[in-house]
Amino acid sequence: DTGVSQDPRHKITKRGQNVTFRCDPISEHNRLYWYRQTLGQGPEFLTYFQNEAQLEKSRLLSDRFSAERPKGSFSTLEIQRTEQGDSAMYLCASSLPDTQYFGPGTRLTVL
Amino acid sequence: EDQVTQSPEALRLQEGESSSLNCSYTVSGLRGLFWYRQDPGKGPEFLFTLYSAGEEKEKERLKATLTKKESFLHITAPKPEDSATYLCAVQGRAAGNKLTFGGGTRVLVKP
């Protein structure tokens, strides 16, 4: 399978803990995106990388959130001091200049 | 700020009963309008990209059309396997590379 992959698929954590998610994009895609989706809503943009440069960040991305793409390949999204409101599906997508292809997502539950 | 509104929120169809989903948008210069299909617990699956008013795209029982203010996704003679949430998203010239999504239309096709 040469699509976008995400790990883990599910994460349950306690409030106040830190969590980190990984995304591996389609190999030839230089653009990578993170979105968050809550139940019954469409995905909301969080941040965008072109190669290793983080070029766009949403207001939704508070200072507890940090994303990296150190070598322009895989990316990580870390949430520090998780809150119950962080419970959501975190989606990664990758693209060439045009269509964004999504991974299966990481479902985060904060207890 | 780009905005997308999808209607109806939910649609129940009998197998073979054709229908249309609406996506109304406001955007500062449309770069592209995207349709995705999302099954429960999975990431969005790309269906179509439309770039300019008057453009149409087809795939199996699905046909997407675009005007300057809205897009329609027509489902012809649907089957139960067409049951999913259909998401519409726009990419505007002033909004960088992010996609702005609507809330989706949940389609249930009963045999």
Using a CB–CB cutoff of 8 Å, tell me whether B21 touches chain A: no
pLDDT confidence of residue B61: 97
Distances from the Cα of A31 to the Cα of A34, B74, B98, angstroms: 11, 31, 11
pLDDT beyond 90 at B96: no
Q: Which residues have C-beta within 8 Å of that of residue A62, sequence separation ≥ 6?
A: none
What average pLDDT does the segment A50-61 reach? 90
pLDDT confidence of residue A43: 98
pLDDT confidence of residue B110: 97
Q: Which residues have C-beta within 8 Å of that of residue A26, sequence separation ≥ 6?
A: A2, A3, A4, A94, A101
Task: Write the pLDDT tens digit of every residue in B73-91.
Answer: 999 999 999 999 999 999 9
Task: Write the pLDDT tens digit of every residue in B40-83.
Answer: 999 999 999 999 999 999 999 999 999 999 999 999 999 999 99
**Residue A71, CB half-sphere, CA atoms under 13 Å: how many?**
4
Tokens of A76: 């990580």
What average pLDDT does the segment A63-69 reach? 96
Mean pLDDT score of chain B, rounded to an integer?
A: 96
What is the phi/psi pair of residue B80, to 5°? Answer: -55, -30
Whether the link from the prior residue into A25 is cis, omega within 30° of 0, is no
B residues 47-76 lying closer than 8 A (beta carbon) to A: 49
Contact (CB<8Å) A56/B4: no
